[in-house]
Amino acid sequence: MQLDFRRPSPALAPAFEKFLNAFLPGDHDMWPADSIFGLARTDMPKYLEFLDGASKGRGLPERWVTSDTYWVFAGDEMAGEIHVRHYVRGMLWRTGGHIGYSVQPKFRRRGVATAMLRYACQRLRELGEADALLTCWDDNAASAGVIEKCGGVRIADAVHPGRNMRRYLIPLI
């Protein structure tokens, strides 16, 4: 599938809204109401402003790091969203890592997340990172599969109350 990596913009917001509305109730929620990402559902102009600032290291919540977002298109439909944090520090070592991604249900199992993760790894390589840290809940088989397909090597889990978070490193050099 031909994928086109674009930076978020007001012109692409209608495609993003369709993408967001297609997610399933059982999916790991990447835009939870208790996070700044929840703005995606409540205030699109502010979400866009946040993403733009985040890519410049501005207006970030405390302890967050500079991060680039790509809206990934298959033709004129948005298939995926991916966030690439320029580095990890603090809590990101336990939850979040360098990268967060999601793929619209109808585009799943067609290699979209794998292609997005490979693209993100290339970005991190260009930024000088030696490894990409990826995290996913232990029961997120889909995400673990993507990470393993991209060469992720499992390291110690981060233990959270009642639940473990898997952690993987993908060597970049």
Q: Which residues bind ligand COA (CB under 6 A)?
A: 27-28, 30, 101-103, 108-114, 136, 140-143, 145-146, 149
Nearest residue to ligand COA by CB is: 145
Residue 73 DSSP SS3: strand
- Closest distance between ligand COA and the C-beta of residue 58, in Å? 25
Residue closer to ligand COA, measured from CB, 27 or 49:
27
Distance CA(147)–CA(144), nearest Å, equals 5
Residue with structure tokens 């890519």? 55
Smallest gap from residue 166 Cβ to ligand COA (A): 9
Minimum CB separation of residue 153 from ligand COA in Å reads 16
Closer residue to ligand COA in complex, CB, 125/149: 149
**In the complex with ligand COA, which residue's Cβ is closer, 27 or 157?**
27
Output the smallest distance, CB 151 to ligand COA, in A: 12
Task: List C-alpha distances in Å: 82 to 100, 123, 136, 160, 161.
Answer: 6, 12, 14, 24, 27
How many C-beta neighbours within 10 Å does residue 157 have? 14
Hey, what are 130's tokens? Answer: 């030696």
CA 96 – CA 86 distance, rounded (Å) = 12
